[in-house]
Amino acid sequence: MIGLECAAVARATFMKTSIAIYPGSFDPVTNGHLDLIGRGEKMFDRVIVAVLKNMEKQPLFTVPERVEMLREVTRQWPNVEVDVFQGLLVDYARKRDAAVILRGIRAVSDYEYELQMALMNRKLEPRLETVFMLPRRNLQLPER
């Protein structure tokens, strides 16, 4: 029995933790965003909802307002964190030790755009994977 317990501890020590980043403007946050966050938090050890700070756009809500809204609606998930980033997503992913970018796809046109972004991100950081998720047909808030 002691050998099995030691093996379990050794496996737990060397298991990888998966950190996913779900980037976006979230202006405003939608049920579709929450659907992906809720499903993503079941797949990954940590999901970082990363609000893009883009000085070139005129958002409906300020960055602090979007962060506050996201923190409020994601507080039910202890492994979801809300953060802000600017610049290249791959640089932010490296800084946060993330291995996955989580992206939502609603239509074929989304896929074409997201595929190009994923390929460029992979070229810049080969260890970074992109996971595409489709929204649920019935977009009620995800259940815990």
pLDDT-derived band of residue 109, with 50, 70 and 90 as boundaries? confident
Nearest to 126 by CA among 96, 95, 93: 93
Output the pLDDT for position 10: 47
Average pLDDT over residues 24-28: 94
Per the model's pLDDT, the better-predicted residue between 76 and 5 turns out to be: 76
Instruction: Kindly tell me if the per-residue pLDDT of 11 is higher than 50.
Output: no
Q: Are 80 and 41 in contact (CB under 8 A)?
A: yes
Instruction: Kindly tell me if the per-residue pLDDT of 25 is higher than 80.
Output: yes
Looking at every residue in the chain, the average pLDDT score rounds to 87
* Rounded-to-integer distance, Cα 139 and Cα 122, Å: 31
pTM of the model: 0.83
